Amino acid sequence: MKTASALRELRDLRNTLKGTLGLVPTMGYLHEGHLSLVRRSKAECDHTAASIFVNPTQFGPSEDLSRYPRDMPRDLALLEAEGVDLVWTPTPDVVYPPDFQTWITVEKVSQPLEGAHRQGHFRGVATVVAKLFNAFTPDRAYFGQKDAQQVVVIRQMARDLNFPLEIVVCPTVREDDGLALSSRNAYLKPDERKAATVLYRALICAQEAFEAGERDAGRLRAIMSSTIAAEPLAREDYVSVAGPETLAELDSVERGALFSIAVRIGATRLIDNFLLETSNSKSQTFNGDE
């Protein structure tokens, strides 16, 4: 496995890779969710690359940038064990040199949900992902359904800016009790870790109500809210029942809808979502060059 921190070095190493390249962008502190993306890329591409970069521009001023968990030696060992070919570990000044002043704003789909609660978050995400696409020129890029809105924003950006690559979305990997794996789970104290299953429980309650025939989005949101309210350590940021592409809130719900929630457990903010299965929901890829 080759690693690079300078951009020139990365480009030189990338140019030695012939055949198709899959890219897995990450902020490190890797877990099985990240590794599931790596494995999917390994299965579908001739070569697999990853980036480890805690992107400062997607954190708000009151967010957890300085305490975001990091363990570069462990991350590199995990990627090497998976057979990754190339890893980029830039420092912030490599990605954002002095006098950096070009930003990518994806408009409508960045506004609700996470965008409404994390000012500037998706501007940082879209900008860094565009830079990663330019640096690696991958044939496919792998993202987790865990960050559902991020997928929508990046698809829109890839389409609007004609990035010639395929966006592949991989299912959310969960702990046995349903908690979605996240680097931020490391912040949770033992009682908070137990309470954190409330996100999954709320989503399951809403899904069960839908399967039992409930089609009123307001009532489905209320079911999620009351599940969260019943957990003493949890505080709701938002619950949403929205269209999977526009992310606009729905009045009445059909298959394919996106249920998503953001909850604070103590000082830790967690998100999760379910995409209600449709009969043709297998088509989870998008080619940005179409």
Give the nearer residue to ligand AMP in terms of CB position, either 34 or 131. 34
**Nearest CB to ligand AMP, comparing residues 37 and 257:** 37
**Interface residue with ligand AMP, options 127, 183, 197, 268 (CB under 6 A):** 183
Nearer to ligand AMP, 121 or 146 (CB): 146
149 binds ligand AMP (CB under 6 A): no
* SS3 state of residue 50: strand
* Residues 6+ positions from 31 with CB-CB distance below 8 Å: 173, 181, 182, 183
d(CA 148, CA 269): 16
According to the binding rule CB under 6 A, does residue 47 interact with ligand AMP?
no
Contact between 58 and ligand AMP per CB under 6 A: no
Binding residue for ligand AMP, selected from 106, 126, 135, 170, defined by CB under 6 A? 170
Question: CA triplet 36, 139, 81: central angle to 5 degrees?
Answer: 35
Asked if 215 and 252 count as a contact pair (C-beta separation under 8 A), the reply is yes
**Which residues are bridge partners to 49 per DSSP?**
23, 86
- Residue 146 binding ligand AMP, by CB under 6 A: yes
Stretch that binds ligand AMP, among 43-51, 142-150, 200-208, 239-247 (CB under 6 A): 142-150
- Cα angle 267, 271, 275 (rounded to 5 degrees) comes to 170
CA 220, CA 214: separation in Å to the nearest integer? 7
- C-beta of 72 vs 229, nearer to ligand AMP: 72
Token pair, residue 102, equals: 């070009």
Please, what is the minimum distance in Å from the beta carbon of residue 143 to ligand AMP?
A: 4
Binding site for ligand AMP (CB under 6 A): 26-27, 33-34, 36-37, 143-144, 146-147, 170, 172-173, 180-183
